[in-house]
A and B are shown apart, each in its own frame.
Chain A
Amino acid sequence: MSSAGPLVEVRDLVKHFPITRGIVWKRKTGAVKAVDGVSFEVMKGETLGIVGETGCGKSTTARLMMRLLEATAGTVHFDGEDITHSKGAELKAVRREMQMVFQDPYSSLNPRRTVGAIVGEPFAIHGLHRDRAERKTAVRELLDTVGLNPEHYNRYPHEFSGGQRQRIGVARALALGPKLLIADEPVSALDVSIQAQVLNLLRERQREMGLTLVLISHDLSVVRHMCDRVAVMLKGKIVELQDNETLYSSPGHPYTKELLAAVPGARRSDRRTIPG
């Protein structure tokens, strides 16, 4: 898997959010060091997991990779190209290659637009499938690949359940055939019985399209199931980056050990194991 080389290279990435005082004359009084010098690579075709607790900087890291936030320092290379400061047409071209699936399937879909319009929007932005009929066909195919009924093209988000909405989000992310998909807590807002549907969908699409996947989650079990390698973040830094087997069988960093021990059911695994 790693023979293909890295798709994304992140070097010494830093993001500080200023803390300011005053309304008219804003003075900078400090900084939240959300991401404080992280370096890692995402290999082509692999699934990299980023785990950590609230406020550890995992979502900020994802947003920096996507260029949804400007880095304070450090670089992000995508497919060999430095995209840390790309602008305009250059950035737009890069964004075609990387897409994101968000945590909350309710707030990440525009309630006033039909599913067809939502999933077809990436085509509109990038001037693809300009012909209406052609675009419609493309969207219907996408809906089909994520397990939604293509006939529901004209429905609105509120007519769908949480799991179905997350499928819509996946369809939108896949529309342009990206190389990289970043999924930020894609199943934590979903019901237990629905989570597996979405996880399986992500994995199937990945296999079929040769996607590179970055999965951000607080759920160590989900990450273990999905990922080839796992980065553990704490206070804006990566404390451990390991292949899946090693991380879960012999965690190196004390914080990783603490995280693993904290998973409910783990402490009593000798007595009551959830069979799988």
Chain B
Amino acid sequence: MSAAGEPLLCVEKLHVDFPTEDGVVKAVDGISYELGRGRTLGIVGESGSGKTVAALSVLGLTRAQGAQVQGRILLEGRDLLSLSEGELQKIRGNEIAMIFQDPSSALHPLYRVGAQIVEAVRAHQDVSKAKARERTIELLGLVGIPDPGRRVDDYPHEFSGGMRQRAMIAMALANEPKLLIADEPTTALDVTVQAQILALLERLRDELGMGMVIVTHDLGVVAEMADEIAVMYAGRIVETAAAETLLKRPEHPYTWGLLRSIPTLAGPRVEQLAPIPGSPPSLIEPPSGCHFHPRCVYAQPEHARIDPGLEPVQGDPSHRVACLLAAGERKRIWEGLR
């Protein structure tokens, strides 16, 4: 992926289990992906697909919840899962930063916005308060807060939703991270503000050469932002490919369902949307075999028994899909659907 050969982030066979009273929730069930420097990976899935847990686990943020994490998460070759909490602390907010969905609950309401960013700077850099404040003002300007020298002393409630998200991004960028994880960064925002924030993230990624993981339920967002897309369903990646390939030549029935169930702005209006029948499964006892088979209209009886691996699609090794239908069959069905 990158010229240096070694990817920035490499996740291998990640499993995250949460023991609960009702049983073990298999939130993430063996996912693997790679991310190069300056690239953006979009992880798409519905609520409960494990996409957020997968992202939080990279920062070790699921440890506190008693999660059992297995597999390997390599940041430039270092396994983050083997690090102690103290060692991780040095990486969080420094080499890896995160943007959360809800900017109003992610900022402390009683501290000035500037002070919270100063804290992030000084947590990882040995600089004076004055220097950190200077840097903070510079960061707020970078993310497009007007009059940053004055707004730095505002409290979060004095910021609009979009400005709070910008402040969160400024905080995430404080130490020029190599990797930025954004969990539904624009879901809480209005569409015009969303467009500004996405453009900002894209610009900063290119300027700073960060790798970026965007976790979202919104296919529009990943279509706009991502170089590669991974579709998650019931804790697994069911399809992954370059963004354009995945949107134009999807191979998995779930991806077809997602693409066909959303109304679009382009193209002719359809009379009826084609919804995916049923609802997402429980992760305590996920369906046997292919996790998607109970909702899949193309499922055969044996799909309830056989577990499909994530296999490369013929002719495109970077496009992988976990589906038991024959390749020719899938191609024929998709041609018929579109």
Contact surface of A with B, Cβ cutoff 8 Å? 53-54, 161, 163-164, 191-197, 199-200, 203, 218, 220-222, 224-226, 244, 248, 258-269, 271-276
Q: Are B273 and A200 in contact (CB under 8 A)?
A: yes
Residue picked from B259, B267, B279, most chain A C-beta under 10 Å: B279
Asked if B262 is an interface residue, CB under 8 A from chain A, the answer is yes
Q: Are B219 and A192 in contact (CB under 8 A)?
A: yes
Residues of A close to B220: CB separation below 8 A:
263-266, 274
Given contacts A272-B244, A276-B259, contact A196 B192 (CB under 8 A): no
Residue picked from B190, B258, B266, B272, most chain A C-beta under 10 Å: B266
- A191 and B47 alpha carbons, distance in the complex (Å): 7
Q: Are A264 and B190 in contact (CB under 8 A)?
A: no
Mark interface residues in B131-163 (1 if CB within 8 Å of A CB, else 0). Answer: 000000000000000000000000000000100
Asked if B264 is an interface residue, CB under 8 A from chain A, the answer is yes
Given contacts A265-B223, A272-B223, A274-B247, contact A196 B270 (CB under 8 A): no
- Of all chain A residues, which has the CB nearest B270? A276
Asked if B310 is an interface residue, CB under 8 A from chain A, the answer is no
Q: Which residues of chain B from 241 to 279 have any CB-CB distance to chain A below 8 Å in the complex?
A: 243-244, 247-248, 257-267, 269-270, 272-277, 279
Query: Which listed residue, B221, B259, B266, touches A269 by the CB 8 Å rule?
Result: B266
Q: Which residues of chain B from 73 to 91 have any CB-CB distance to chain A below 8 Å in the complex?
A: none
Residues of B close to A275: CB separation below 8 A:
247-248, 259, 267, 338
Q: Are B224 and A193 in contact (CB under 8 A)?
A: no
Q: Are A200 and B192 in contact (CB under 8 A)?
A: no
Q: Are A266 and B265 in contact (CB under 8 A)?
A: yes
Residues of B close to A193: CB separation below 8 A:
46, 257-258, 261, 275-276, 279-280
Residue picked from A193, A225, A269, most chain B C-beta under 10 Å: A193
Asked if B4 is an interface residue, CB under 8 A from chain A, the answer is no
Q: Are A221 and B275 in contact (CB under 8 A)?
A: no
Report the minimum CB–CB distance from B108 to chain A (whole Å). Answer: 23
Residues of A close to B198: CB separation below 8 A:
264
Main secondary structure of the interface of A (DSSP, over half): helix
Report the minimum CB–CB distance from B142 to chain A (whole Å). Answer: 22
Q: Are B262 and A195 in contact (CB under 8 A)?
A: yes
Q: What are 16 residue pairs bridging A and B, where the CB atoms are less than 8 Å apart in the complex?
A: A193-B261, A196-B275, A200-B272, A218-B190, A218-B191, A221-B263, A221-B265, A224-B265, A248-B265, A258-B192, A262-B191, A264-B225, A265-B220, A266-B265, A272-B248, A276-B267
Asked if B195 is an interface residue, CB under 8 A from chain A, the answer is yes
- A276 and B264 alpha carbons, distance in the complex (Å): 7
Asked if B218 is an interface residue, CB under 8 A from chain A, the answer is yes
Residues of B close to A218: CB separation below 8 A:
190-191
Asked if B32 is an interface residue, CB under 8 A from chain A, the answer is no
Mark interface residues in B274-302 (1 if CB within 8 Å of A CB, else 0). Answer: 11110110000000000000000000000
Q: Are A267 and B195 in contact (CB under 8 A)?
A: yes
Residues of A close to B195: CB separation below 8 A:
261-264, 267
Report the minimum CB–CB distance from A160 to chain B (whole Å). Answer: 10
Residues of B close to A264: CB separation below 8 A:
194-195, 198, 218, 220-221, 223-225
Report the minimum CB–CB distance from A203 to chain B (whole Å). Answer: 7
- A226 and B271 alpha carbons, distance in the complex (Å): 9
- A199 and B248 alpha carbons, distance in the complex (Å): 25
Q: Which residues of chain B from 168 to 197 have any CB-CB distance to chain A below 8 Å in the complex?
A: 190-192, 194-195
Given contacts A161-B279, A268-B224, contact A199 B191 (CB under 8 A): no
Residues of B close to A220: CB separation below 8 A:
191, 265
Given contacts A264-B195, A269-B266, contact A192 B247 (CB under 8 A): no
Asked if B320 is an interface residue, CB under 8 A from chain A, the answer is no
Given contacts A196-B261, A225-B269, contact A267 B46 (CB under 8 A): no
Given contacts A193-B258, A195-B261, A274-B247, contact A200 B275 (CB under 8 A): yes
Q: Are A53 and B190 in contact (CB under 8 A)?
A: yes
Asked if B217 is an interface residue, CB under 8 A from chain A, the answer is yes
In addition to A163-B279, A225-B263, A272-B243, 4 A-B residue pairs with Cβ atoms within 8 Å of each other are: A266-B220, A272-B248, A273-B264, A274-B266
Complex A-B, nearest 4 residue pairs according to Cβ-Cβ distance, in ascending order: A225-B263, A196-B275, A264-B220, A262-B195
Q: Are A276 and B266 in contact (CB under 8 A)?
A: yes
Q: Are B264 and A53 in contact (CB under 8 A)?
A: no
- A220 and B190 alpha carbons, distance in the complex (Å): 12
Report the minimum CB–CB distance from B107 to chain A (whole Å). Answer: 18
- A54 and B194 alpha carbons, distance in the complex (Å): 12
Report the minimum CB–CB distance from B277 to chain A (whole Å). Answer: 8
